[in-house]
Amino acid sequence: MVELKLGTDLLARARAALPGGVSSPVRAFGAVEGDPPFVVRGQGASLFDAQGREHIDLVCSWGPLILGHAHPAVLDAVQRALRDGLTFGATCAAEVELAERVLKRYPFAERVRFTSSGTEATMGALRLARGATGRDRVVKFDGCYHGHFDALLVKGGSGLATFGTPSSAGVPQATTAMTDVLPLDDEHAARALFAQKGSEIALVVIEPMPANAGLLLQRQAFLETLSELCSEHGALLMFDEVISGFRVAPGGMTERSGITPDLVAVGKILGGGMPVGAFLGPAQLMEQLAPNGPVYHAGTLSGNPVAMAAGMATLDTLEQPGTYERLEQLGAHLQRGWEAALVASGTPGSVARMGSVLWLCLQEGETPRAFHRIEAAGAERYGQMHARLLEQRVWMAPSAYEVAFVYTAHDEAQLDRAAAALAQALSAP
């Protein structure tokens, strides 16, 4: 079959040209059975592979595509923007407009600095926090991922956990000597660290909805404790909302929790599928960035006009009445379907969910809230199940530590098919 040859050839060529055949490691199917199919097209909630097969997509490009693939409003906006050119190297009107839309959704903040990725957003924000406080120490949480830069590439969840690497080679110890890692869901450990080093801590960074090591939903009281500890000790608090921003509410977890952090990092949905990140906060803090302040941060393609257009169209479409309610309904529908599949197949497990973000947790007992409570056996079960799901054209992340997303483009019938496929995949001997 000609198409099959195309797929096979592409995989061999990819592996010869790209390390591991990929540009980002978890895509490589290292922790699941089989080879990754090549995607040639996305439409709505479907992905089409090089062999012409249609898959129900629950990966959502790992978070950015909340409206579905090739959404007409986003494509129109991009097409209109690109007629005027791809990049100007000067501030453009779209940048101002997108920043205003972001500030409307995050009213605690007064300034936005755009970047080209989530990694750059958290990296810039950490430098700003250190510059503003005159302190060096940063606190992160085991299982939370904040991008692939040195200072925060410690115990970072999925990409690292999938391959059993606690951290990365090539990160000098001196770089992470100022990074402390705490367990999630543990006020006692946070208090103990602050008692010891509170006056040295520049920043506490957390995914307020940790979604890079399964979905480790945190208690409100835990997030509040962090906020209080930071205030007491003069440290800054950053919510990394690269996944939760614009997804779990227009103002993400900041809105849902009612807690006011000092900084927020966003990305993914903000670019509607184009490479965009941003960090935001009050003027007094953000104006310490260059050119007004001493903290340097820059980017050749930051605030790119085409990417800004994709982000605006995405946020505007999300703002239409009933959109978040619909995402909640669809998320709840898939959760019920998955729970029924677990019961029907007699598989120990549970489903964690917040809005349109779901995690299938294949272990007994309560759904964990901390990384060290995730059992390795679940990952093995997931690896086998993943291949069977793919055979039934259900596209889930090739890692037990990744969450699934639903789109506004999904419908109940597709989600029922995805749940039925799961029941079958889990029942197979």
Chain residues binding ligand PMP by CB under 6 A are 62, 117-119, 122, 145-147, 207, 212, 240, 242-243, 267, 277
The order of strands in the sheet holding 46-49 is: 39-43, 46-49, 54-57, 394-395
Spatial separation of the C-alpha atoms in residues 354 and 67, rounded to whole Å: 17
Catalytic residue, chosen from 268, 324, 382, 407, is 268
Pairing relationship of beta strands 394-395 and 350-354 according to DSSP bridges: unpaired
Q: Is 240 a catalytic residue?
A: yes
- Is the Cβ of residue 48 or residue 149 nearer to ligand PMP in the bound state? 149
Q: What residues contact residue 314 under an 8 Å CB cut-off, 6+ apart?
A: 66, 67, 71, 73, 74, 246, 269, 270, 271, 272, 273
Q: Which residue is nearest to ligand PMP (CB)?
A: 118
- Is the Cβ of residue 399 or residue 414 nearer to ligand PMP in the bound state? 399
Amino acid at 373: R
Smallest distance, ligand PMP to C-beta of residue 344, A = 32
- Is the Cβ of residue 157 or residue 337 nearer to ligand PMP in the bound state? 157
- Helix 412-427 and helix 376-391: axis angle, to 10°? 120
Q: Is 407 a catalytic residue?
A: no
Report which of 375, 134, 113 is spatially closest to residue 264, judged by C-alpha positions. 113
- Is the Cβ of residue 270 or residue 285 nearer to ligand PMP in the bound state? 270
Structure tokens at 166: 């606690």
Smallest distance, ligand PMP to C-beta of residue 426, A = 27
Catalytic residue, chosen from 106, 145, 324, 382, is 145
Spatial separation of the C-alpha atoms in residues 196 and 393, rounded to whole Å: 52
Q: Is 268 a catalytic residue?
A: yes
- Is the Cβ of residue 153 or residue 318 nearer to ligand PMP in the bound state? 153
The order of strands in the sheet holding 236-240 is: 111-115, 277-281, 263-266, 236-240, 201-206, 137-141, 179-182
Smallest distance, ligand PMP to C-beta of residue 247, A = 11
Smallest distance, ligand PMP to C-beta of residue 268, A = 7
Smallest distance, ligand PMP to C-beta of residue 370, A = 17
Residues classed as catalytic: 145, 240, 268
